[in-house]
Copies of this chain bind each other. A is one copy, B any other.
């Protein structure tokens, strides 16, 4: 399951979701097929009377590597996750996920309702042997490259072992998507000294230290290190991860908007901005979210990639290419093999922690400063 079905894999695309609708999905399919890197075939799942004309429009109606699978219903952004699957038996999202279950597709890509995709993926596919719960990954630009943030929002509460699983899933995803052979894994916490985080991060730290055979754990990662070249996989629970990721997007917008407003404040500044516009374009390309818009729901018995709801054709194209990479790299097989080992390592006898100062009545983190 999840491996290429035959000489090449198949990617099931939920063609009805997303803010921009099926027209953008069809355009993305064309872009992906034109990309020499794509090795998988595409199965667009949705309403044939809608999709047919769109494929014709993009010149891929009779393309040998595209087919349409009929699904009459659409999960909307307003649908509640579980209801979407219980009530809409013939949804494009549900049918796409089923193609993974039957082995007809090696991955599914959707820019539809995230909660529904997570619920549907978890219920229909279940998790890989040894992995308790799925986690959302996200690829984020930083100095000298990119890192994987995991969990970016699948599970708001977590136990230490879940974070260890996130570390494993994130490591393999970094190998496949970022091409990093031995990705450095950091545990997001406050205070780089041992024992300075919260109960969850401290317990996870102890577990991760025992998993050196499988995970290249580089230790606690503080907030100020996140956008430096410090780690390739940043591990946290889904509550923290989602707040971090979305607030970073919010800050980037604030930063960009403020800069734009200042550059437009008078004719002189505008003239300068026109002259140096290459810098702004390069900057935009550098931190372009389209390039890595496929947030994978990792840990399931099947590759499920969530693209941003507002994904345009370019963002979707990259999500399709990411799915292709994940299929070809046998991501699921790699995780499955390591999951058994990591569970044994994580549950081994704990290494005795170094003695620490642990004040009772006072907040005493040397590193909990917002400012030092």
Contacts and interface: CB of A to CB of B under 8 A. Distances in A.
How often does this chain occur in the complex, in copies?
Answer: 2
A111 to B, nearest CB: 8
B293 A371 contact: yes
B263 A245 contact: no
Contact of A283 (B155, B258, B286): B258
Interface string A273-305: 111111110110011000001010000000000
A157 interface: yes
Contacts of A248: 223, 247-248, 251
Contacts of A368: 114-115, 118, 136, 153-154, 156, 238, 242
A190 B153 contact: yes
A337 interface: no
A213 to B, nearest CB: 28
A226 B254 CA distance: 10
A186 to B, nearest CB: 12
A243 interface: yes
Nearest to A372: B309
A259 B273 CA distance: 12
Contacts of A357: 80-83
Given A156-B190, A242-B190, A258-B286, A249 B224 contact: yes
B365 A156 contact: yes
Contacts of A228: 250, 254
B223 A371 contact: no
Given A239-B197, A371-B114, A263 B276 contact: yes
A152 interface: yes
A244 B246 CA distance: 11
B246 A223 contact: yes
A266 to B, nearest CB: 8
Contacts of A240: 239-240, 243
A369 B121 CA distance: 14
Contacts of A115: 363-369
21 contacts: A114-B366, A115-B364, A115-B366, A119-B359, A153-B368, A154-B363, A189-B239, A197-B239, A223-B242, A223-B243, A223-B244, A227-B254, A238-B363, A239-B240, A244-B247, A251-B252, A262-B279, A262-B283, A268-B275, A272-B279, A273-B279
Interface of A: 77, 80-83, 113-116, 118-119, 122-123, 133-134, 136, 138, 141-143, 149, 152-157, 188-190, 196-199, 201, 222-228, 236, 238-255, 257-259, 262-263, 265-266, 268-280, 282-283, 286-287, 293, 295, 306-310, 357, 359, 361-372
Given A123-B361, A225-B250, A271-B272, 17 more contacts: A82-B359, A122-B363, A136-B370, A141-B254, A188-B243, A190-B239, A222-B246, A223-B245, A226-B250, A242-B370, A247-B248, A263-B276, A263-B279, A268-B275, A269-B278, A272-B273, A293-B371
